[in-house]
Structure 1
Amino acid sequence: MRAIRGLWRWRGNPLCRTTDLAEAWLALTSLLLIVCVAPLIGVLVGGAAQSALQRSVREQHEMRHRVTATVVRALERSRLTVDPEGASGDELSSRVLAAWTGPDGSRHEGPVLVGIDRPDSGDRFAMWTDVRGREVARPLDSATASTHAVLAGVGTAVAAAALVEAARRIVVWRMVRRRYARLEREWERAGPDWGRTGAGS
């Protein structure tokens, strides 16, 4: 709004300099880019991220399988060992030796992290494996993918707006420097004659 008011105020004003008008037009253009173009870029990037992430979700759910494993015995327990796919980083995970059957029918046994507080031999829990029965991370879910896509879109829109504002400030800074340099040159040209009789100043 300030840019529009500035343009209207300078309209037909004899004191209006070319740089004043250029500054007002620059501010108006920057405002339009920030309000209209930056959100559009954010929507496009967010949409592209959503498509890519949802495709990844589908691929992961096709390639990863949920199986039921059985605790063979508990292994050492550490508060520093946290399941990165867990709902909360504060959850205590237990390390156990487990046995499971892969989707292809193969038998597997190995150390895994479980969210059981005091695991005993024979306890059953769910885990994720690939088609050959090897342990893999939990597949990305659709809601998390959508959240990442929204964050990508918002971040891109904010970055685009910040880039436009930074460019506007740089251009205005250069215009002001050029204006002051011109003023100094004019001052040097007129300064020595100031106060002298008949100098026309």
Structure 2
Amino acid sequence: MTAFRGPGVWWWRWRRNPLRRRSDALEAWIVLTVWAATVTGGVLAGTAAAHTVERGLARERAERRPVVALLAEDVPRAAGAGPVWADVRWRGEDGAFHLGQARVAAGSPTGTAVTVWSDRDGFLVTQPPTASAAHVRAAMVGLMMGAGAAAVPILGGRIARDGLERRRMAQWDAAWARFGSTWGRKTG
């Protein structure tokens, strides 16, 4: 069972108090700084990462074009197989024929039209993500980067607070060693 904490207990490090040590005030400033750096750093890093990913995926959508390619070979029918890799030919924007490999349905004959994606140089590329998929991907990357950036000040604050705690424990040990031996004596 925990004791009831009144409204003033939460702010005891900030109030004037004869029992407050300098390390308590330093710890209060560390905690405040860590939380401020965690929130601002996490939000800024996450937002910047999300915008960067969003711009990169928008550039991919703008640069990549669907192209109709023709199968250059017969694709054998494989039992229970889905799409298989096969050679395809297409005419690029420069008018030259290009040869590459794409995933096509098993059992397709030579000359079957297949839609592939090409970049400006005529190389085969993957299909760019849709706008909604790009938003989701950017949001996920932003969340991961924000969490990673927020972990840095939390870890640094934890290390600083552990150092303060070790120092306080050493001070307690020194005080116990100095005054503990006098407690067994009778006065008077």
TM-score (norm: length of structure 2) = 0.73
Instruction: Give ranges in structure 2 of 5+ residues lacking alignment.
Output: 1-7
- Tell me whether 1:104 sits opposite 2:108 in the alignment: no
Determine if contact 1:67/1:128 at 8 Å carries over to the other structure: yes
The aligned residue for residue 88 of structure 1 is none
TM-score, normalising length from structure 1? 0.69
**Deviation digits for residues 32-64 of structure 1, max 9, x if unmatched?**
333344213321332234334434543x33xxx
Q: Which amino acid aligns with 1:27?
A: V
Aligned to 1:188: 177
Aligned twin of 1:74:
74
- Does the CA contact (< 8 Å) of 1:10 and 1:21 recur in 2? yes
Q: Percent identity?
A: 29
For the 8 Å contact 2:73–2:87, the answer to whether it is kept is yes
Where does residue 84 of structure 1 map in the other structure?
A: none
From 61, 77, 95, give the equivalent of 2:85.
Answer: 95
Q: CA deviation at 1:76?
A: 5.2
Aligned to 1:154: 143
The Cα of 1:174 is off from its aligned counterpart by 0.7
Q: How does 1:27-38 map to 2 (within 5 A)?
A: 27-38=31-42
Deviation at 1:71, TM superposition (A): 2.5
Q: 1:125 to 1:51 in 2, by over 3 A?
A: closer
Letter in 2 for 1:182: Q
Correspondence for 2:102: 113
Q: Contact (CA 8 Å) 1:69, 1:125: kept in 2 or not?
A: yes
Partner of 2:52: 48
Displacement of 1:119 in angstroms is 0.9
SS in 1 for 2:125: coil
Partner of 2:5: none
Whether the 8 Å contact between 2:45 and 2:145 is mirrored in structure 1 is yes
Q: Write the letter of the residue equivalent to 1:138.
A: T
Cα RMSD (Å): 3.4
- C-alpha contact (below 8 Å) 2:46/2:145 kept by paired residues: yes
Amino acid at match of 2:158: R
Separation in 2, partners of 1:76, 1:168: 62
Distance 2:89 2:137 in 1: 34
- Structure 1 unmatched ranges of 5 or more: 80-90
CA pair 95-77 structure 1, distance change in 2 beyond 3 A: farther
* Matching of residue 14 in structure 1 with residue 18 in structure 2: yes
